[in-house]
Amino acid sequence: MYFDDLTPSTGCREPRAWLKSSRPRLSLNGRWKFELWSDPADAPAVPDVREDCGELEIPGHWVLQGHDRPRYTNTAFPFPIDPPRTPDANPTGDHWRWFDLPDDWPADGAVLRFDGVDSCFKVWLNGTEVGTAKGSRLPSEFDVGELLRPGRNLLTVRVHQWSSGSYLEDQDMWWLPGIFRDVTLLARPLIDDVFVHADYDHLTGSGRLLVETAAGAVVRIPELGIEIAAGMAVTIPAVEPWSAEAPRLYDATVAVPGETVELRIGFRTVAMIDGLLTVNGRPLFFRGVNRHEHDERRGRALTVDAMRQDLVLMKQHNLNAVRTAHYPPHPAFLDLCDELGLWVIDECDLETHGFIYTDWRGNPADDPDWAPMMLDRMRRMVERDKNHPSVILWSLANESHRGRNFGTLAGWTRERDPGRAVFYERDRSYEFSDFYSLMYTPLEDLEAIGTRTEDVPPETADDPALETRRRGLPFVLAEYAHAMGNGPGGLADYQRVLERYPRLQGGFVWEWIDHGLLLPGATDHVYGGDFGERVHGANFCIDGLLFPDRTPSPGLIEYKKVIEPVRITGTEPITIQNLRTFTALDDLEFVWSQEVDGVEVRAGQLEVPEVGPGESVEVRLDLQAPTDVVGERWLTVRAVLAKDEPWAEAGHEIAWAQFALPSAPPKDPSPVRGPVVHRAGDLVLGGGEFDRRTGRLMRLFGVPVDGPRLDLWRAPTDNDNGQGGRNAVVTEWRAAGLDRLLHRVDEVETGERELVVRTRVAPDGLGLGVRATYRWVALGDCLRLTMDVVPEGEWGGTAVTPRCGSWPRVGVRMAVPRSLDNVRWYGGGPGEAYADSREAARVGRYVRTVDELQTPYVVPQENGSRIDVRWAELTDADGNGLRVAGSPSFQLTARRWTSEDLELARHRSDLSSRDHVYLNLDLAQHGLGSASCGPPATAQHALEVAPRTFGLLFRRLGGT
């Protein structure tokens, strides 16, 4: 069958650029009739056109419109590996619609264009077969002029979910069949193709233009006074170059009698110079992200509005590059990249990852029989996207191992388009790539790569010439900082290393958006396994910097801070460093403010002289403090847009920094210690009422409470869980019994003015444990708790138990009435932060409800911690409640469910509010890392098993 053979297509036109033409066009999007067959053998030879069947919205996926179900896998094919054959159970959808040909439609021919069909399809027009095509995320065009009729016409399309092409499309995503991009009828083009060569000479400032197109065509750029014949090269004395920082485009036309094609031309030159990727003579640095096309309701059938929203968010969060993982995007997306300014790695629709389960036996990449199909995909991408100045690298594929066919792809690409570089990460010889690249590289390995002292890969060990070439290549992290669930941690550590060495030209975080699907009528986003399928990738698709509804996650907020293009350091003087490559900082304003204990007391504008790309300036600011000010003094400096940009309004923050200033020491009131009062059954110390036998605090300033009690456990994050057992710190924690700790009271000691409760906390079945001592003292109108935590026993492991070197957290947990749901704090905020994900937290005063403190991860897990909290207040609607201060500062978490509830939940609807608010007041938590697909938290950010001491000071608020 055609869907099982190795023929890329039948009846298709040669690939060409995606052009905006004046010739008539007719959109065939909209409502189509639809019928689904579970086996193509059951379908009639030609689709049976009937009115008594279902309907679909096109572009769209039938599995998201009530027919069959979506499937998600990361690496595994959801069918037996037997290339190029597919199973009999191959969902096949027949689509048809009638359309009326306009009366004034030209009589000289027509082209039927499909911008994306997953995964193989056959087309009929008015009952006559037109052709077939594979390559889901690539265009296919057919000449259909002779088949058109005046008036009413019938278009029929049969789509197979599985085909030989599916073996090339194992791209860590939902398998979503259907006609998911535009369908368009085009009047036959008189200008069949256009190839724009627009180079920029950074030494002279001149541009060179050559437009390859139909003979007799005229090229015009009115703004530059250009009117030349196609095929004629012209040098333009002065042009403004295109870059992601300054995306200068010139409107142009290519015209012949009867057709005009509109172009937007950007002048720029891509070159490898001295072992580095350069554009317009300057080395680039990628602050990038990998982007799948995804919409929570529409799957990969994205609207242009959603594409623009993605790019606006990228620009607003300081990203400058996108890798179109792992296929060419909708062509309108690249138009927007040209317009708004992002560097693009355009990736071929090619990944054979599932062959890892055969040890790469049968991998198409190394089978010459597959070369035509692979080259067809590369050609269609390059030809479609060749006129976009934003596209500077062609990526041959993703995670498809090694193979001679990549040499074919790279050779053709370099010959067809020598003006761009070629990229491929997975072949460790890099003989076909202009870059050395890896994924999820540990920091120590990244340091070695930066200094060119990395280990020799086995693929080049026996070929000195190939190894010499590889070691001379620039390095790009194709993927890093896996953004799954709460994380990624360690972004700042990566950025410091990446910026330290010229060879390291940046990287691309994995990935842009969670792939959660929101089905009709549902409230939870679904992921792999939610449809009862046996082979699936679980929630590995929930790994984005955006939540499925395109709301930025804390990970994106952190990434924005880490990759700021302006660095602000020091206070006397303040240093402003421009990390941009091409543009000065004259589009920014700098403002400053001084705060005392989080309250602004002074503010102004910072006068900053011109700062060119790569340059720094020093600016002085009078920071004299009023002599009567007591409290923490902070200086905050912000860089904001001076005027509106296409992607943000004036005042949008680009960068900020915060500095602690010398502060007057607070006055020590030396409050009088209150006595311990013995009553029947309980003890009273200041505002605390304690159980006489257990020392448990029962009421705090009249508020019923449960706790505080030592807590070492957290609901595991996706990164705590690791990947397939690798780097799973939670395994170590569970082996040490941290998820099943039992508390025993050993002694309740009452002094005249102090209550001491000594406990041992340990799991069943093990000898290790923790001695936790609670020391309570009443100080004036406050109640102070000092906690001493001392580990004992076999934390280093035994002959039969593994070592446990870290704790998830160390602090106390307590429950308070659910009415205390208003939270005000002074410390890090406004969003959540952890040991290795805290760059975006700035010191201030913040107000949230308990519900607003939660981070809505698709899969519930530890979240919502606020860091460096000096004090926090929990109050009811009348302002009554409690205040807690830390010594030192603490991490605050407040939620309506327990950590155990979080751990058991698989979707947000699994969480039900309890009758209390549960507080965690932590001295510290373990870092996040990115071990869901990468390294764990580094030793620097690990919470080591060690003795700890910390204090909390409680006080009444209001009239409670």
What is the set of active-site residues? 399, 479
Query: Tokens 């027509």 label which residue?
Result: 110
In the chain, the amino acid numbered 738 is L
Q: How many CB atoms lie within 10 A of CB 771?
A: 17
CA angle, residues 477, 482, 484, in degrees to nearest 5: 165
Q: What is the largest CA-CA distance in the chain?
A: 105
* Environment class of 591 (CB within 10 Å of its CB; exposed 0-12, middle 13-18, buried 19+): middle
Angle between helices 443-450 and 491-500 (to 10 degrees): 10
Q: How far apart are CA 79 and CA 136, in angstroms?
A: 18
Tokens of 687: 């505002």
**Measured between alpha carbons, how far is 918 from 210 in angstroms, rounded to an integer?**
67
Structure tokens at 209: 């233009």
Element (H, E) at 676: strand 676-679
Q: Give, for 578, the enclosing helix (H) or strand (E).
A: strand 574-578
Distances (CA, A) of 379 to 99, 163, 189, 330: 31, 20, 20, 16
Distance CA 850, CA 869 (A): 16
Q: What is the DSSP letter of 631?
A: S
Distances (CA, A) of 943 to 77, 201, 864: 39, 53, 18
CA distance 307 to 330: 9
Determine phi and psi for 899, rounding to 5 degrees. -60, -35
* CA-based nearest residue to 32, from 93, 92, 90: 93
Residue type, 744: R
Q: How far apart are the first and last CA of the chain?
A: 78
Q: How many CB atoms lie within 10 A of CB 194?
A: 23
Instruction: Give the span between the Cα atoms of 180 and 302, in whole angstroms.
Output: 8
- Kindly state the tokens that stand for 697: 């605090």
Residue 578, strand partner residues? 566
**Burial of 706 per CB tally in 10 Å (0-12, 13-18, 19+):** middle
Extract the tokens encoding 674.
Answer: 């209150």
The Cβ-side half-sphere exposure at 375, using a 13 Å CA radius, reads 20
> Hey, which residues does 810 pair with through a beta bridge?
924
Number of Cβ atoms within 10 Å of the Cβ of 837? 31
CA 826 → CA 597, 843, 848, distances in Å? 7, 7, 12
Can you name the residues that pair with 227 across neighbouring β-strands?
Answer: 220
Backbone angles phi, psi at 468, to 5 degrees: -60, -40
In degrees and rounded to multiples of 5, residue 838 shows phi and psi of -135, 5
Assess contact for 920 and 931: CB atoms under 8 A.
Answer: no
Q: Which positions ≥6 away from 846 have C-beta within 8 Å?
A: 824, 825, 826, 829, 830, 866
Q: Are 450 and 497 in contact (CB under 8 A)?
A: yes
Are 360 and 428 in contact by the 8 Å Cβ rule? The answer is no
* CB neighbours of residue 526 within 10 Å: 24
Cα–Cα distances (Å) from 406 to 308, 359, 363, 402, 403, in that order, read 33, 19, 12, 8, 6
